């Protein structure tokens, strides 16, 4: 992709912001992109402040400009990476002190709606989790309230590592307030989960120095239809509650669930995405 960032709308920042304008004899360069302000949910720092009760929190962000290639935002902006970081740490601490990951989260949540989605995901997955797992398989959990003010979502996935990495089951529970279109909300959550699983396990643009070696979509791996897991999405029904929105609630929790499932399956924390077979081997021998 060699176009202006998606936030550079024509006329923004007092410049035309048209790609062709850069090729004029006297070029007009696009305005420098700016991060989304906190009042609108934040950009790079979206979901960087944890939902959990923590006595001391300080969030720092740095927006990097002047890269040799154009970058733009993933769906959910910074929430995907930030939720993965927070939820991975929650699992690691729970493991170190010998507490179940879900119980540890509940111990640090005072918001009842957060607790409700986590307790519901435990119920929805209980039967599936009672099935004995083969070696190299594990369950992982991820949770977040999107933007800290939007919909709540908890995701659990079952994952197998046997040569390749494969998610076999994905469950989600979401609370978006009153759902005007429950089926539409479920579709939104399901689509976000599958997109996030693809990001977390597959997707990467290959870069060599200042140039991209991924030249077409044929060079860009994504989740195939044959790799889509069994999916279940349930909603916490809240008739009359203020609608919180369902867009992008599941990307962060789903990515975190995959990362935590890998740790549960193999006992190692893979910190570089995507979590491919090569990334797992590299972490194992590091």
The tens digit of pLDDT for each residue in 57-108 reads: 898 888 887 777 767 778 899 999 999 999 999 999 999 999 999 999 999 9
More confident residue, 9 or 222: 222
Mean pLDDT for 241-255 is 97
CA atoms of 246 and 76, how far apart (whole Å): 11
87: its two tokens: 């939820």
Confidence band for 2, pLDDT divided at 50, 70 and 90: very low
CA atoms of 128 and 132, how far apart (whole Å): 9
| Boundaries of every domain in the chain | 76-285
Q: Which fold has domain 76-285?
A: Aldehyde Oxidoreductase; domain 4 (3.30.365)
The reported pLDDT for the residue numbered 1 is 40
Confidence band for 178, pLDDT divided at 50, 70 and 90: very high
CA atoms of 119 and 96, how far apart (whole Å): 22
Buried b (16+ CB within 10 A) or exposed e, 28-62: eebbebebbeeeebbbbbbbbbbbbeeeeeeeeee
CA Rg, the chain, in Å? 20
Confidence band for 123, pLDDT divided at 50, 70 and 90: very high
Mean pLDDT for 241-265 is 97
Do 121 and 141 contact (CB within 8 A), yes or no? yes
More confident residue, 233 or 35: 233
Mean pLDDT for 231-249 is 97
More confident residue, 94 or 41: 94
């Amino acid at each position: 992709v060699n176009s202006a960032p998606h936030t550079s709308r024509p006329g923004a920042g007092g410049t035309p912001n048209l790609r062709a304008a850069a090729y004029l004899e006297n070029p007009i360069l696009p305005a420098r992109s700016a991060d989304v302000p906190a009042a609108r949910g934040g950009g790079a720092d979206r979901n960087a402040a944890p939902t959990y009760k923590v006595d001391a929190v300080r969030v720092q962000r740095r927006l990097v400009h002047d890269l040799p290639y154009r970058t733009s935002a993933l769906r959910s902006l910074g929430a995907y990476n930030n939720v993965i970081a927070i939820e991975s740490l929650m699992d690691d601490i729970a493991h170190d002190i010998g507490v179940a990951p879900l119980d540890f989260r509940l111990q640090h949540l005072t918001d009842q709606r957060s607790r409700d989605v986590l307790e519901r995901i435990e119920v929805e997955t209980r039967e599936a989790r009672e099935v004995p797992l083969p070696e190299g398989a594990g369950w992982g959990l991820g949770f977040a309230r999107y933007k800290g003010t939007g919909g709540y979502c908890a995701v659990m996935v079952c994952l197998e590592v046997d040569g390749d990495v494969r998610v076999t089951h994905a469950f989600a529970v979401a609370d978006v307030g009153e759902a005007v279109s429950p089926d539409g909300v479920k579709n939104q959550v399901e689509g976000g989960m599958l997109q996030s699983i693809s990001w977390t396990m597959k997707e990467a643009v290959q870069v060599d120095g200042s140039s991209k070696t991924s030249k077409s979509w044929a060079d860009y791996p994504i989740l195939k239809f044959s790799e889509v897991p069994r999916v279940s999405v349930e909603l916490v029904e809240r008739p009359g509650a203020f609608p919180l929105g369902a867009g992008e609630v599941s990307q962060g929790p789903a990515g975190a669930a995959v990362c935590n499932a890998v740790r549960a399956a193999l006992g190692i924390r893979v910190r570089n995405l995507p979590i491919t077979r090569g990334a797992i081997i590299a972490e194992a021998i590091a």
